[in-house]
Structure 1
Amino acid sequence: MTKVDDRADPEKGALATKVLVVDDEPQIVRALRINLSVRGYEVLTAGTGAAALRIAADKQPDVVILDLGLPDIDGIEVLAGLRGWTSTPVIVLSARTDSVDKVAALDAGADDYVTKPFGMDELLARLRAAIRRGAAEAGTHEPVIETETFTVDLALKKVTKNGASVHLTPTEWGMLEMLVRNRGKLVGRKELLREVWGPAHSTETHYLRVYLAQLRRKLEDDPAKPRHLITEPGMGYRFQQ
């Protein structure tokens, strides 16, 4: 019997590619692990949303295959957690066939949506396409950002200061997340307003002053002399690590 040389596989180029499979159905995880492994992919697995976010932060996979029906956190929330810090391609693999679910997943940042039951060949083709897009964009950042006074976990959407959790309102978090994701860069006032409050509020610049003052009171050691949440007069704001 002739031994098949793995190196001749047409997907050999994926040798170092890490794929995180997030699903709580053992048979699906097993099928994906087998099919991906024999093609040279490194396969990571998670059965819960919390584990998925933890593994993604630690191992930084090149692509994620994500089920929406997880036992602890809805897949849409996992997707939002990932998109808080990385542009790694995410393929949703779900039994939910309703167009509303598909739209919600795509709006939350999914790159593709495959319904169960699925054909392995089609999924592998979509996986290769997602990996090519991800390689072209190469937009991954560290999920945990530390300053001398506070830490921001973009994946878990948590902020701590001196070891204690800091409660932020959804709007405060939205503003902080936008600044941290663009750390070191100037974020214009209109851009920040559109991202956090929506297009209808792109001229409401007083919102920014109010919420930035609240963030400084919660996070800066000296809110009157901020070191990390910086105002660029007449232009916008900057997060300085």
Structure 2
Amino acid sequence: MRVLLVEDDDRLAAALTKALARHGHEVVRASLAVDALRLAGGVDFVLLDLGLPDMDGLEALRRLRRVSAVPLIVVTARTEEREVLRGLRSGADDYLVKPFRTVELMARMEAVVRRGTRPRPQRDDVVNVGDVRIDLEARQVTVAGEAVTLTRREFDLLAMLAREPGVVRGREEILDEIWGDPLLSASRSLDVHVANLRSKTGRPGLVETLRGTGYRLGSTA
């Protein structure tokens, strides 16, 4: 297989490249997330470290999963259960904590390939809800042709719902992905951001609340 190794540690990358080559794999190495996103379309498998210098690996994983279903294993020194769950929820097929044995990595790669890959995401860069236009790539929102100014987190929240219209997102899931801390579910931060989205767009039904469950993209009513 052609394997993309995303790892900024030169010594570890060299060791993994040698081990993968011994097992018959061709290795393409990237030390930056921006390079990984550019190269991912031409490989059969991705090994992704989370501690990258230009972007958090989880954010790189989310961006990759918007356009690619390539098999991917997160390889990282982060051991917290919350980090593992965030990696899997963000689209990783498996999660391997450093240090690990080469034989375990190879076994997990084989298992991921045997399971097959998820369907390729079929998502538009632009989502329209009535007269609301959400441009996910340009990070712009317009209502009836007029631009609406949102904060970074307000847009991230709206984009998370817009990427899968109709899918209900739980409070903890949203707080985990947008704020990076599901424990914030005890605060009113998410509620304030939802209220701001409704107010700024002038479309109170754009973000629909499902009591005791979470939120989903609604209508412009």
Give the shorter-chain TM-score range: 0.5 to 0.7
> What is the correspondence of 1:48-59 to structure 2 with a 5 Å cutoff?
48-56=32-40, 59=41
Instruction: Describe the SS at the equivalent of 1:73.
Output: coil
Structure 1 counterpart of 2:85, which letter? D
Instruction: Give the conservation status (yes or no) of the 8 Å contact 1:159–1:167.
Output: no
- Report the CA distance between 1:63 and its aligned residue: 3.4
The change in CA–CA distance for 1:208 and 1:170 in structure 2 (over 3 A counts) is closer
The change in CA–CA distance for 1:237 and 1:69 in structure 2 (over 3 A counts) is closer
Instruction: Give the conservation status (yes or no) of the 8 Å contact 1:93–1:114.
Output: yes
- Report the CA distance between 1:124 and its aligned residue: 0.9
Task: Establish whether residue 113 from structure 1 lines up as the match of residue 96 from structure 2.
Answer: yes
Structure exhibiting the larger radius of gyration computed from Cα positions: 1
List runs of 5+ in structure 2 lacking aligned partners. 89-93, 176-181, 209-214
Structure 2 distance, partners of 1:39, 1:161, is: 48
Structure 2 distance, partners of 1:27, 1:55, is: 21
> What is the correspondence of 1:55-70 to structure 2 with a 5 Å cutoff?
55-56=39-40, 59=41, 61-70=43-52
Instruction: Describe the SS at the equivalent of 1:108.
Output: helix
Structure 2 distance, partners of 1:179, 1:125, is: 36
Q: Which residue number in structure 2 is paired with residue 196 of structure 1?
A: 174
The change in CA–CA distance for 1:236 and 1:130 in structure 2 (over 3 A counts) is closer
Instruction: Give the conservation status (yes or no) of the 8 Å contact 1:79–1:108.
Output: no
Q: Sequence identity, in percent?
A: 26
Q: Which residue number in structure 2 is paired with residue 220 of structure 1?
A: none
- Report the CA distance between 1:112 and its aligned residue: 1.5
Task: Establish whether residue 141 from structure 1 lines up as the match of residue 141 from structure 2.
Answer: no
Structure 1 distance, partners of 2:109, 2:199, is: 43
> What is the correspondence of 1:61-140 to structure 2 with a 5 Å cutoff?
61-82=43-64, 88-94=70-76, 96=77, 99-100=79-80, 103-110=81-88, 111-116=94-99, 118-133=100-115, 135=116, 138-140=118-120
- Report the CA distance between 1:208 and its aligned residue: 8.8
Task: Establish whether residue 152 from structure 1 lines up as the match of residue 130 from structure 2.
Answer: no
> What is the correspondence of 1:161-200 to structure 2 with a 5 Å cutoff?
167-180=150-163, 182-183=164-165, 186-188=166-168, 191=169, 193=171, 195-196=173-174
The change in CA–CA distance for 1:25 and 1:77 in structure 2 (over 3 A counts) is same
Q: How many residues align?
A: 194
- Report the CA distance between 1:51 and its aligned residue: 1.8
RMSD between aligned alpha carbons? 4.6
